[in-house]
Structure 1
Amino acid sequence: MEANQPESVIGGKSFTAVAVNCAAKAGEWIKSKIGSITQLDTKYSMQDLVTEVDKGAERMIRNLIGTHFPTHSFLGEEGVEPGPEASAKALQDVSNAEYLWIVDPVDGTTNYVHGFPFYSVSIALAHRGQVIVGVVYDPSRDELFVAERGKGAYVHGRKMQVSQEATLNQSLIATGFPADPHVALPANMKGIQALAPKVRNLRIAGSAALHLAYVAAGRLSGFWEMNLSAWDIAAGSLLVEEAGGRMSDTVGEPYQLAVRNVVATNGRIHGELLGELQVAANT
Structure 2
Amino acid sequence: MSEFFQIAEIVASDVELLDETAAAVRAAGVVLRERFGEVVRYGTREELMGALAVNDEAALDVLRPRLTGLRPGAGWVEDELDGGALPPGEWWVVDPAEGNVNHLHALSDWAVTATLVRENRPVLTVVHLPLTGETYTALSGAGAHLDGRRLHVSGAADLGLGIVATSQARPDEDESVVRRVGSSITAMLLGALVVRTSVPATLHLANVAAGRIDAFWQFAGARADLLPGALLVTEAGGRISDVEGRPWTPHSDSFLAAAPGIHAEAVTTLSH
Bin the TM-score by the shorter chain: 0.7 to 0.9
The TM-score normalised by the length of structure 2 is 0.87
Aligned twin of 2:5: none
Aligned twin of 1:230: 223
- Answer whether contact 2:10 2:142 (CA < 8 A) is retained: no
Aligned twin of 1:9: 13
Aligned alpha-carbon RMSD (Å):
2.5
Range with bigger deviation, 23-32 or 177-186? 177-186
- Answer whether contact 1:77 1:104 (CA < 8 A) is retained: no
Alpha-carbon distance in 1 for matches of 2:225, 2:138 = 16
Alpha-carbon distance in 2 for matches of 1:259, 1:28 = 34
Identity among equivalent pairs (%) = 26
Q: CA deviation at 1:187?
A: 1.0
Alpha-carbon distance in 2 for matches of 1:18, 1:97 = 23
Q: CA deviation at 1:278?
A: 0.9
Q: CA deviation at 1:77?
A: 3.6
Q: Give the aligned residue type for 2:63.
A: I
Aligned twin of 1:160: 151
Q: Give the aligned residue type for 1:66.
A: T
- Answer whether contact 1:8 1:16 (CA < 8 A) is retained: no
Matching of residue 105 in structure 1 with residue 83 in structure 2: no
Q: CA deviation at 1:39?
A: 8.7
Structure 1: give runs of 5+ residues left out of the alignment.
none
**Quick one: which of 93, 107, 110 aligns to 1:116?**
107
Alpha-carbon distance in 1 for matches of 2:153, 2:71 = 33
The structure-2 alpha-carbon separation of the partners of 1:183 and 1:60, relative to structure 1 and needing over 3 Å to count, comes to farther
Q: Please list the CA deviations of residues 79-125 of structure 1 after superposition, one character each: whole Å capped at 9, or x if unmatched.
A: xxx6xxxx24xx54xx2232111111111122111111011112111
Matching of residue 252 in structure 1 with residue 245 in structure 2: yes
Alpha-carbon distance in 1 for matches of 2:54, 2:25 = 17
Range with bigger deviation, 177-186 or 209-218? 177-186
Q: Give the aligned residue type for 2:9.
A: Q
**Quick one: which of 59, 62, 65 aligns to 1:63?**
65
Matching of residue 145 in structure 1 with residue 136 in structure 2: yes
- Answer whether contact 1:172 1:202 (CA < 8 A) is retained: yes
The TM-score normalised by the length of structure 1 is 0.84
Q: CA deviation at 1:76?
A: 4.2
Q: CA deviation at 1:253?
A: 2.0
Q: Give the aligned residue type for 1:71.
A: G
